[in-house]
Amino acid sequence: MAELTIAQALNAGLALALEEWDEALVMGEDVGRTGGVFRITDGLQDRFGADRVIDTPVAESGIVGVGFGMAVVGMRPILEMQFMGFSYPAFDQVVNHVARIRHRSRHRFTAPLVIRIPYGGGIGAAEHHSESAEAIYAHTPGVKVVVPSRPHDAKGLLLAAVEDPDPVIFLEPIRLYRSVKEDVGEGPVRVAIGSAAVEQQGSDVTLISYGAMMRECREAASAMTAEGVSVELVDLRSLVPLDVETIVRSVEKTGRAVVVTESPRTGGFASEIVTVIQEQALYSLQAPIRRVTGWDTVFPLKRGESLYLPSTERVLRALRATLED
Amino acid sequence: MRQILTPSGGLVGEAPVDIEMTVRLYRAMVFARAYDRKSMSLQRQGRLATYAPFEGQEAAQVGAAAALEPDDWLVATYRDAAAMWMQGYPLELLFAGRTGHEAGGRPPDHVNVMPPSITVGGHMLHAVGLSWAEKLRGSSRIAMTMFGDGATSEGDFHEAMNFAGVFGVGVVFVCQNNGWAISLPRSQQTASETIAEKAIAYGMPGVQVDGNDVFAVHEAATEAADRARSGGGPTLIEAVTYRMGPHTTADDPGRYRDPEDAEDWERRDPLERVRVYLSERDRWSAEWQAEVESRTFDEVERAITLAESLYDPDPSHIFGAVFESSTPTLDAQRRELESLLEDDD
């Protein structure tokens, strides 16, 4: 049994993808010789060659635009952005080309590529290195958005993303890269895009999150369990397509919900989840839904990070307040 | 600046193509001009949405596209209908896009032409990826991309040229420098003396040609395509030309440029010089030209009628091509729209 971190699971998944599909290739800044800034592509260039693990000039729009052309011809480019704050120069390519070519060419041309984007704060990184802008991508019709929070899902979602006939924005929680190990399964496991995981069954309150914030949510859920509260913990794993059914079914059962995201609050993805619950499970609710999110501020530098990042304590407070309503 | 056929129809040096090919190029330019003028009038009648005319740029588009093999990639813009048509894009689909229907973005399966780029500059990168991937897959297809002088100010121009240079990708970059990016003259677009010289910075050959000289354009494009196909990497061609009309039908050039400029460029017309050249070799007559034009109008009329008869978009049209397979969320939204439409009936 292979016990791997998220970083190792992604590396194993990328190696499998390169083995399984001749069309797959990895492209990005520093992905070859150094194995990427987070070493996710470590060793792949040695194994698969510089034609399939390609170090590019420092040009994010170039990486995505060139990858788009490759995908149209039938390649399966797996593109790496070094940090979410560095993905913005490529945003035009994503929104105006990658996301809409299927529609604007009526299925003649498609761009089945994967854009891997490490996201989120908590490691004391420099400015622009801690963004959590998933809502911007989720708001873009034509791209799928997935966010694993565990090694098994990281590998399974990555392989599903490479296999997917449509472009996938693959968000990687930086601060969980090396924090937990688990058995990821041998060989090409798959996690279906668009399916949430009910990580813990419960009956008193539904706690919904994804990606990096799952750590705080797991801690809060076990603290509540110790207090005798039954928390149902849902890891969305995919934001687009969203597993509405799992969310609604859970809230219908528990009657209470807390939604946790790291991103700024206004227009954030938590708002979408809250709205879905309001539209489809309002009459099951026994208390207002609560959001625990980052603030509508610029993400602070290292010394101010703890002010911004939702803590386990904030999640606990929200859970308690919801249960008391 | 390379010139082979002077505005008065005289040769400087040798013609790069034989007389039959010259007739073919001329006929394509006559077709292109008739198509362009007819499109302007269709737009004025309200049958097309906004139209971006290319009168004056026929030689640049026809000469460059004629250098491609039939299955090469062409990644061009909203002003490049002549080049797209040359590379096999059906006329009715060019019109379909302009009547406001996405079916216009789907060329037949054997035609490797991307739907026209509407944003400026981003598509040049696609040509790099297309040509690179073809090489990785062992094919000899190459890509040509067309853009204007304005697009050379976009960051993606730099990134595309840089990627192509660094990785030696066989791409033919064709800049139609038509002097104006909407209202901004070329002199305010870049401080470079020429656009061709920008190639030096990316380690690739750059060549400036008289863009109204179909011989010069075709020769330069053929050299560039041969270079790309044989592993010699990319080339930047600057075809110096002039946009005789407005940027689009929504714009009035009288607000920003001197009408005398256009008169000056009329004397350098890309068609007239070939007409003289052919005429001097007894390969042109007014009757023949009238016949080509008349056939073009018939063909255009047939194409616009076909385009106008396309199915009306319904909910499945807009929801059916977001992804390969629909999602529960999209299904729910589609049902919502369908029930709204039923209520309206």
Interface with chain A: mutation pick from B123, B125, B131, highest number of A CBs within 10 Å: B125
Name every chain A residue with its beta carbon within 8 A of the beta carbon of B143.
69
Contact call for B132 and A66, based on CB within 8 A? yes
Measure in Å the smallest separation between the Cα of B218 and chain A Cα atoms.
Answer: 25
How near does any CA of chain A get to the CA of B133, in Å?
A: 5
Residue B145 CB neighbour total at 10 angstroms: 31
Whole-angstrom distance, CA of residue B159 vs CA of residue A59:
7
**pLDDT tens across A90-101, in order?**
999 999 999 999
Are A1 and A183 in contact by the 8 Å Cβ rule? The answer is yes
Q: Which residues on A lie below 8 Å from B137 (Cβ)?
A: 73-75
d(CA B74, CA B186): 25
For residues A268-295, average pLDDT: 98
Q: Annotated catalytic, B35?
A: no
| Cross-strand partners of A233 | A200, A207
- Number of CB pairs < 8 Å for A and B? 138
Q: Is the pLDDT of residue A1 over 70?
A: no
Active-site residue, A152 included: no
Q: What pLDDT does A188 receive?
A: 85
Told to judge if B273 belongs to the known catalytic residues of this protein, a careful annotator would answer: no
> Reduced to 3 DSSP states, what percent helix, strand and coil does chain A have, rounded to the nearest 5?
40, 15, 40
pLDDT of B345: 73
The span from the CA of A266 to the CA of A264, in Å, is 6
Cα–Cα distances in angstroms (integers) from residue A249 to residues A27, A287, A289, B4, B172, in the given order: 40, 16, 15, 74, 56
Smallest CA–CA distance, residue B148 to chain A, in Å, is 19
**The dihedral sign for the CA sequence B177, B181, B185, B190:** negative
Chain B residues inside the 8 Å CB shell of A89: 155
What is the mean predicted confidence (pLDDT) over A158-173?
A: 98
For chain B, what's the residue count?
345
A97, A129, A139, A152: which is the annotated catalytic residue? A129
Contact predicate A197/A153, CB 8 Å: yes
CA–CA distance, A297 with A295 (Å, rounded to integer): 5
Interchain contact B78–A (C-beta under 8 A): no
Spatial distance between the Cα atoms of A31 and A45, rounded to a whole number of angstroms: 8
Residues of A in contact with B116 (CB under 8 A): none
Distance from C-alpha of B343 to C-alpha of B339, rounded to nearest angstrom: 6
Contact B125 A65 (CB under 8 A): yes
ipTM: 0.96
Distance CA B262, CA B268 (A): 10
How many residues appear in chain A?
A: 325
| B164 close to A (CB below 8 A) | no
Residue type for position B178: N
Angle B19-44/B91-99 helices, nearest 10 degrees? 20
| Contact indicator for A137, A169 with CB cutoff of 8 Å | yes
Residue A216 and residue A294 in contact, taking contact as beta carbons nearer than 8 Å = no
Report CB contact under 8 Å: A59, B159: yes
Mean pLDDT by 10 residues, chain B (345 residues): 97 96 97 94 91 96 98 97 98 94 96 96 98 96 98 98 98 97 94 98 98 98 98 98 94 91 94 98 96 92 94 95 97 97 86
Q: Say if CB B133 and CB A36 are below 8 A apart.
A: no
Handedness of CA B316, B322, B327, B329 (dihedral sign): negative
Taking an 8 Å cut-off on Cβ atoms, the answer to whether A69 and B125 are in contact is: yes
Q: Say yes or no to pLDDT of A78 above 80.
A: yes
pLDDT reading at A186 higher than 90: no
Q: What percent of chain A has pLDDT over 70?
A: 100
